[in-house]
Structure 1
């Protein structure tokens, strides 16, 4: 596919959607397509830094994020926010329709922004959470939510799942589904914007702090209170893209407010063990590098908790809850695990993605 004008919408929940979409956006650009990127917040700032000179960027507010210090409060707030969420979808569709008319858009690709899809324009969702993991795993409630979500995604021609159809990284999020999704699902393969770099070593532990507030700050506080107890060379990235100021060295420990994608990739390559959230994009990156990891899922985010538990039970990686994190103890345990199984090269996924949106 070439010579098309594509509207690519990116969800702003952490930075994972933006980093995985970089692979696809660059693939579209290299195939001589024009890309208009729609996003907001930190995701938009990251995309501006990485591809702002090659794409037109448009800002549109995303769904509300009623996060909380306590998981139970998060679920209550998220349920109460549903009217605002659905109102956001309506606003997104109205905005997308006007943008399509004004910019002459030929196709829409939307990563988890449900409202940015139109029946009158070939539209495609990038989406991996086909099943929502509900605490306690009530089967009929999960099935009801999955089928409702299937309806929300009905405006798109296809749903492009960044995973393999079998033995994938996403576990029950995108496999062994309860509803009949028909032939609209297309598994395009995992997406990773990092690549292995031979010969780079010298870091024992790379700790990546991420996630929406207030949990990002709580994770940071817990890590910084314990990091000096780790042996060897430690690098911490605080996940604050508003500033690239480097904090002073503290003997063996170096702390950065933020690392761009190139520096983040270098640190992941150099580290013997990575300590991070268990977001799906992070999993895909670590699988690309076949790097051992210690996962600390964001409290209240059942998807991250499921992925951490799923791969821990399969003997790939070790995981611990944020409240129970004891860095010296947990990294010793995590080093006994081999890491996530390798995935196909991202070029394969980009090729399958381009094929999937060509008709």
Structure 2
């Protein structure tokens, strides 16, 4: 088949969506296809920095981010923002239809941007949470939301799930044991990650990665920096904010970086015995490439992160603690008693499966 023109849309809630699609976009480019990337904010900046002149880039505003200081406020803001979300989806569809006519788009791949999908062009959604985890796990409500999502994806030919199909995979109930009949439209392509195992010693005791939207990122930063000198051994902390300066604590035993690029993040994750971080799904996929032990601190109000952290603790893989109850020395020691995340197939296998589905 001749080279295809692909519109690849990427969600901007955190950088996880942008990092996980990088292997797929590179796979398309290496196979001789051209890619137009549609995104916004920091996700667009990351993709532009990584792919530079290999792609064309379009900025289109994403749905609002209802992040708050408490879980209750998060759900209130999320509910109040629903009308704006649906207006955003309608605007995305109009824009997508016009763009596809103008550019002659052959395929659409959308990572969680619901409106970037039209029936006139073969469209594929990259999505890992067909079931939304609702506090208290009311079956009837979760099934209703799942059915609603299934209808929103009606124009997509397939839903690409970045997980394995067997044994609950990494995502558990988010994409397994589903309540609705998806009629064979789910394609489990396998986990995605730009992180890969490297040779070398584990000469770092703890790597702490602070991330997330404000105000939660700053709240976790304050807790970690207040407690980090209580950790034994060699420690590296990255604060996830490129604008400030790097400093050392405890006479050089602890290094605090404001920001680390993808290459340095990979280096630190490989070298660390234990990784302390959020439990976002992209982070799980990265740690599973390395089989790492981890201490998870879910973002307050994000039930998906809370579920994933609890799911893997119940399976004996990793330890988790709520942000407001963090005792870094105690909890990091407990994390070392767990087995670590099970290793998953390399991302190259997931890219192969992806290309087989999207461009048969």
TM-score bracket, normalised by the shorter chain, equals over 0.9
Of 220-229 and 281-290, deviating more is 220-229
Partner of 2:118: 118
CA deviation vs aligned residue, 1:245-301 (integer Å, no higher than 9, x gap): 641222211111111111110110011110000000100100000011000000110
Structure 1: how far apart are the matches of 2:247 and 2:296?
A: 27
Partner of 1:24: 24
CA deviation vs aligned residue, 1:197-241 (integer Å, no higher than 9, x gap): 01143211100111111111111111111111111111111112x
State the secondary structure of the residue aligned to 1:53: helix
Structure 1: how far apart are the matches of 2:103 and 2:220?
A: 42
Q: CA deviation at 1:346?
A: 0.8
Whether the 8 Å contact between 1:2 and 1:31 is mirrored in structure 2 is: no
Structure 2: how far apart are the matches of 1:317 and 1:258?
A: 25
Structure 2: how far apart are the matches of 1:221 and 1:59?
A: 33
Matches within 5 A, 1:74-93: 74-93=74-93
Partner of 2:99: 99
Matches within 5 A, 1:89-238: 89-167=89-167, 168-238=169-239
Partner of 2:276: 275
CA deviation vs aligned residue, 1:94-146 (integer Å, no higher than 9, x gap): 11112112222110000000000110001000000100000011110110000
Structure 2: how far apart are the matches of 1:2 and 1:67?
A: 44
Structure 1: how far apart are the matches of 2:201 and 2:39?
A: 34
Residue ranges of structure 1 left out of the alignment (5+ in a row) = none
State the secondary structure of the residue aligned to 2:248: coil
Work out the number of aligned pairs and report it. Answer: 357
Structure 1: how far apart are the matches of 2:116 and 2:39?
A: 11
Partner of 1:261: 262
| Structure 1 segments (4+ residues) deviating >3 Å | none
Structure 2: how far apart are the matches of 1:275 and 1:263?
A: 16
CA deviation vs aligned residue, 1:143-164 (integer Å, no higher than 9, x gap): 0000001001111100000011
Structure 2: how far apart are the matches of 1:246 and 1:271?
A: 23
Partner of 2:345: 344
Residue ranges of structure 2 left out of the alignment (5+ in a row) = none
Partner of 1:313: 314
Structure 1: how far apart are the matches of 2:10 and 2:122?
A: 17
Partner of 2:289: 288
Partner of 2:247: 248
Structure 2: how far apart are the matches of 1:218 and 1:314?
A: 29
TM-score normalised by the chain length of structure 1 = 0.97
CA deviation vs aligned residue, 1:169-196 (integer Å, no higher than 9, x gap): 0000000000110011110011111000
Structure 1: how far apart are the matches of 2:202 and 2:142?
A: 44
Structure 2: how far apart are the matches of 1:260 and 1:309?
A: 29
Aligned Cα root-mean-square deviation (Å): 1.1
Structure 2: how far apart are the matches of 1:91 and 1:253?
A: 48
CA deviation vs aligned residue, 1:63-117 (integer Å, no higher than 9, x gap): 0011110101110110111000000000111111121122221100000000001
Structure 2: how far apart are the matches of 1:50 and 1:287?
A: 23
Partner of 1:35: 35
State the secondary structure of the residue aligned to 1:249: strand
